[in-house]
Amino acid sequence: MLKKARVVTDPLIFLVAIVVVWQLVTVVTGIHSVLLPSPLAVGDILTTRFGLLLSSMLDTYRVVLEGFAIGGLVGLVAGVVIGASSVLRTAFYPFLVSLYIMPKAVLIPLFLLWFGLGEFYKLLVIVLLVFFPVTENVVTGIRGVSVEMRELGRITPTTRWQTFRRISMPSMFPYFMAGLRIGITEAFIGGVLAEILAPHAGIGSRIAESVATSNTQFIMAGIIVIAFFGITTYFLMAFIERKLLFWYY
């Protein structure tokens, strides 16, 4: 029980330490607040502009979750198809990889051109970032089914569908979940990045505006809000993963 509590308390102690040092640095050096606002100034923004920060973040969060869901699903289906067929793997893999490693800053202008400013192009950026780690993991999981397990399937014997449903799917499930965990972080990155590069709505757009007005306090407050949502979502997912994969961990 003590150990469990420390999972929460240790990072909190570290956080307090950072804030204290940060405050000291701003007071002692008298650095200009545009360069480095004090934690108190940022805290002030967090309270006075809380409504705006929260509603902007929720706008972003909704797209992030939608993109994550679609990307996860597309990634799963693509992974299963590619994992099951070596022909498709050979044919599609180079394209999937090039799509993923392409800097999103390059694709965003194209998407804007085709789909215009709005939720859809944001969604597209997120889906693109989420699906690849999921696909990669699902393929690894399916191909990782041991030779003996396949032989067991043949000797039982299992039908093709049974082999897929009863052996391959459960085998790759832990990999799928790990892919989703990477995917959710990618979804946050994609959502905020899309908003900053083409401000329209959401927390990223508010931050982009604050950059233009040198409102560093607001940028930092925005970062804190994003971090809070990101961490909470990530650990919630990790928790669900542990519950679902009790037989694995």
Q: Rank residues 154 and 213 by Cβ distance to other proteins and give the closer one.
A: 154
Cα distance between residue 56 and residue 4, in whole Å? 33
Shortest Cβ 80–other proteins spacing (Å): 17
Closer CB to other proteins, 60 or 163, in the complex: 163
Please, where are the H alpha helices in the chain?
Answer: 2-29, 39-48, 50-84, 86-101, 104-115, 119-143, 147-155, 160-162, 169-197, 203-212, 216-244
Binding region for other proteins (CB under 8 A) out of 36-44, 49-57, 69-77, 145-153: 145-153
SS3 assignment, position 79: helix
HEC string of 39-53 equals HHHHHHHHHHCHHHH
Closer to other proteins by CB, 59 or 241: give it.
241
Size of the residue set binding other proteins (CB under 8 A) = 19
Residue 225 in tokens: 């809000």
* Stretch of residues binding other proteins (CB under 8 A), selected from 3-11, 17-25, 156-164, 184-192: 156-164
Q: Which phi and psi angles does 148 have, rounded to 5°?
A: -65, -40
CB of 178 to other proteins, least distance (A): 16
Using the rule CB under 8 A, is 138 a contact of other proteins? no
Q: Which is nearer to other proteins, 67 or 83 (CB)?
A: 83
Nearer to other proteins by C-beta: 107 or 152? 152
Residue 8 within binding range of other proteins, rule CB under 8 A: no
Q: Which of residues 39-98 bind other proteins (CB under 8 A)?
A: none
Nearest residue to 37 (alpha-carbon basis) of 50, 51, 22, 48: 22
> Which of 18, 110, 149, 211 is close enough to bind other proteins by CB under 8 A?
149
Question: Is 160 one of the binding residues for other proteins (CB under 8 A)?
Answer: no
Member of 86, 97, 170, 240 binding other proteins (CB under 8 A): 170
CA–CA separation, 212 vs 41, rounded Å? 19
* 167 is a site residue for other proteins (CB under 8 A): yes
Cis, bond preceding 11 (omega within 30 deg of 0):
no
User: Is there binding between residue 158 and other proteins (CB under 8 A)?
Assistant: yes
Q: What is the separation of C-alpha 214 from the centre of its chain, rounded to a whole number of angstroms?
A: 28
d(CA 189, CA 122): 11
Query: Cis before residue 103, ω within 30 degrees of 0?
Result: no
Q: From the CB of 244, what's the least distance to other proteins, in Å? A: 10
Choice from 156, 227, 232, 239 touching other proteins (CB under 8 A): 156
DSSP reduced 3-state for 199: coil
Q: Does 240 bind other proteins (CB under 8 A)?
A: no
Binder among 29, 33, 86, 146 for other proteins (CB under 8 A): 146
